[in-house]
Amino acid sequence: MRALRLAGVAGFAAGLMIATLSAPASATVRIESSAGGRIGDYLALFAAVRQSGEDVVIDGPCLSACTLVLSVVPRNRICVTRRAILGFHAAWTPDRRGKEVTHAGGTRLMYATYPGPVKAWIRRHGGLTRKTLLLQGSELNALYRPCSGRSAHTERAASDRPMRRGSNRP
């Protein structure tokens, strides 16, 4: 099993998509730390992962646009470790001075793509706003399967030889 580690995707989505598409179907994409980025970059990346047949292990923070993995990759191909944290908030765009301004259209798009149980969780916690909602622990395990002991062990072994590309910024 080969694991690709995502440590902030937006800046190197195209290169990772190429690596993902050429990887064997038994490969695993491992998300260890992603602060998010551009919605379109993540949708394209996770569409390539979906097409490849790869599984996704969420093993750390997957924040903002990274959470779109839940929208694109089938639920049965996603597992979460005890370190997994999903962070949801309203989409934003920089204004002319670089200040973050909530983007209503982007927020509606993101929310519309999430699976029903994730939407319900977001609604119960106040909706998508500037405040980041964190889904983790037992609440996350109620929605997504925990990674099995065997796959967690395999993933740890695979992570000893990580493939790292790019930076955290687009």
Give the CATH number of the domain where residue 109 resides. Answer: 3.90.226.10
Which residues constitute the domain of residue 16? Answer: 3-159
pLDDT number for residue 124 = 97
Burial degree of 48 (CB within 10 A; 0-12, 13-18, 19+): buried
Could you tell me where the DSSP H helices lie in the chain?
13-22, 39-52, 69-72, 104-113, 116-124, 137-143, 149-159
Looking at the structure of the chain, the number of domains it has is 1
pLDDT number for residue 148 = 83
The predicted-structure confidence for 101-156, as pLDDT tens digits, reads as follows: 899 998 998 999 999 999 999 999 999 999 999 999 999 999 999 998 644 444 44
Look at residue 166 and tell me if it is in a domain. no
- This prediction's pTM: 0.75
How confident is the prediction for the chain on average, in pLDDT?
A: 80
Look at residue 164 and tell me if it is in a domain. no
Look at residue 165 and tell me if it is in a domain. no
Look at residue 47 and tell me if it is in a domain. yes
